[in-house]
Amino acid sequence: MNCPLCGKDSNCGYNQADPASTRCWCFHASFPPEIFEQIPAELRKKACICQTCLEQFRMNPSRTEIS
């Protein structure tokens, strides 16, 4: 599955048919609520944000676009 912010592979273990999907990095990450506002409405709760986009957002949360 691709990240809804940058379009690259999100590398989410949950989407890789891993029965132990809690091993995915995202299960142990904290996502600021504001990052979800960056996702197009039609992709919210349907696609996983990648680790790179999360890190970029944390470094500069005032940016309106992540690339």
- 55 phi, psi to nearest 5 deg: -65, -40
Structure confidence at residue 18 as a pLDDT band (50, 70, 90): low
29-41 pLDDT, tens digit each:
999 999 999 999 9
Mean of per-residue pLDDT scores for the chain: 82
Q: The tokens of 15 are what? A: 């989407």
The whole-number pLDDT of residue 22 equals 60
Alpha-carbon distance of 67 to 50, in angstroms, equals 11
